[in-house]
Every structure is written in C-alpha cells, then in structure tokens.
Amino acid sequence: MIELRQVSKAFSGSTRYAVDRLTLAVPSGRTCVLIGPSGCGKTTTLRMINRLIEPTSGRILVEGEDVMKVDPVGLRRRIGYVIQQIGLFPHMTIAENVGTVPRLLGWPKAKIKNRVEEMLRLVGLDPAEFLARHPRHLSGGQRQRVGVARALAADPPVMLMDEPFGAVDPVVRARLQGEFVAILRRLGKTVVFVTHDIDEAVRMGDLVAIMDEGRLVQFGPPDRLLAGPKNAFVADFVGADRALKRLALITAGAAAEPGAAPESAPTIGEEASLRDVLALLLAQNADAARVVDAAGRPKGALTLAAIRRAAAAPAVNDAADEAAAGPRAACTAPAAPPSWPA
C-alpha cells in the first residue's frame, strides 16, 4: 500500500503550494492514476513517493514504511520508475539496461541473465533478437517496453509511471496501454501512474485522483467519477462524452442479455467493450449484436437499448475505495505557503 497523509510541497520562491495537504491511499495491487491540468501537482506528487523531490510536510508511507526514514537510494532501488523519456542508457545493450538494478543489488550473473530474458518475454520482446541491441536500434514502442522491463526487473512491489506512453504514436500507445495494464495487474503491482489524458486514466486506473492547483478534487474508481462528477471542474475535465467513456469500462460479456440476436446481427467477442459494440452497431446500421466467447459459443445478445441502459446506470459505490481516499482535509481551503529566507 502507498499512503499520503497531509502531504504538501512548496518550492522556494513560489507563491503557492505545488501540492497542498494531499491525503489518499492506494491499496496493494491497485493502479491509481493522478490526473489534472498542467501544474496541478501530479508529477510532483509522484516524485515525492521515491524522494526525487522531498516533501515540505506530511508523511508518505510505502508498505507501512515512512519514506523519509529510509535511505533514498535504497528506496529507489525498491521502486520501479518509468518515465516518458524512458531514460535507457545509450551505451549499454538492452540486456545491460534491463539488468541495471539487479546488478546494483548484487544479484549473481546467472540470475540476472535469466531475469532479463524473462522480463523481455513478459513485455513481448524476443530475447534472442533484442538482448544484444542498443536503444538506438529500437522503435519508440520497443524502447518503452524495455523501460518497463527494466523497472520490473528487480520485482519491485511498487511502480511509478510518469506519462510513460506519451512519446509513442496513438496506435502503439493504445496497444501498450492494454498490454501493460494486464501485466501489472497479473503481477499484483501497486502502481501510481501520471497522465494528462482522461481516456488513458480510465483505461489504466483502478482508482483515479483528479487534482487541481495541488489539491485533490475527486478520488475513486473511474466509473464513479464518470457517473457522478463532484463539481463543474471535474465534469469539464472528464468531458461531455463521459457516458461513452463509461461504456469503455464494461465488457460485452458482462452486459449481454439472454436470448438470441437476429440472424443478420453482427458478432462480437465477449471481451469487447460496450463502446466497441456501439461503434459496430452504428457502422453496420444494426439494432443488436450477437455476443460469443473465445470458443465462439453464444453468450447472449446486446441491443442498443441495453447499451443505453448501461450508460445511464448509476455507479456502484465501494466503501473500500471510498476509504482509500482518506480524510477530506485535502479539499479544504489552502494555507499560505511558508516564507522563505532571502
């Protein structure tokens, strides 16, 4: 678990806090996305977790341990860190890049070699093809995969990801998002993920924290934020198409209703989102789709009316997710930043 308790950060010379008394908790094995406009404090918050930036006040706990009471270098070696620029060492091979932290931790060479190959396979890169290459020989998407493999190499329980897919093209980006959210959840990592893209936040996050001017504005599962924006700022930020965004969170299999679709109805897999089903129905001028499982067995039917009902349904409240937001002191009026010596 990652906990932030009344965490603030004021930079010297600033007239306001970059982060103002932020309180939230990320349960173990969950992904929390920090999102908000430029300058809202999301990247500052991320970097305080591994002490690349020191907090001005408050406490940050990683797995129950106060980060200010441990060696920062040791802390960072226990936390995976992925950034937009990737930061691969250009003079090192891919094998050497991925093995960086295990090597610093003193792992035996044979164990490092096995781990590097395992991580490359995990992110979809063939070790035989990529181990001896250098970063300059890779595409942007391949370099990003190597960056994630490197961050996972020492099996850290916590991952910090700062706009990791921002430098790749939209098609590759969508594919990487889907692949890596599946990997991180399968591995049970606790993740804090920074983005400015609400579609990416909805796709990647189990929990989403919307920030503005250093303060937490709303926190909860994506479906709840889309279904019930707390105020005009959140409603504007998540967009007028938030009903469509909610459809992306629901699979066809989960929403399929008993019964058979007309013979002329298009067929779609149960893992497709309702947003995909809606796009298919509109493209084919159809009123219903046949939903099938991976083996092609029928799972039911989906109609336009059923999709409308799903889009309008209230979000399910989860007390555990609500508790993770912590006290609402983070949303009180901001205090004045400290006075700095001349």
Q: Are strands 65-66 and 215-220 parallel, antiparallel or unpaired?
A: unpaired
Per-residue pLDDT tens over the stretch 145-190:
898 899 999 999 999 999 888 767 777 788 888 888 888 888 899 9
Report how far residue 280's alpha carbon sits from residue 247's, in angstroms, rounded to the nearest whole number: 13
Q: Which residues contact 159 (CB under 8 A, 6 or more apart)?
A: 79, 80, 81, 82, 151, 152, 184, 189, 190, 191, 192
Number of Cβ within a 10 Å radius of residue 186: 9
Per-residue pLDDT tens over the stretch 38-79:
999 999 999 999 999 999 999 999 999 999 999 999 999 899
Which tokens sit at 26? 């990320």
Q: Identify the pLDDT of residue 341.
A: 40
The letter for the amino acid at 65 is E
pLDDT lower than 70: segments of the chain: 85-86, 167, 316-342
103-136 residues labelled b (16+ CB within 10 A) or e (exposed): eeeebeeeebbebbbebbebbebebeebbebebe
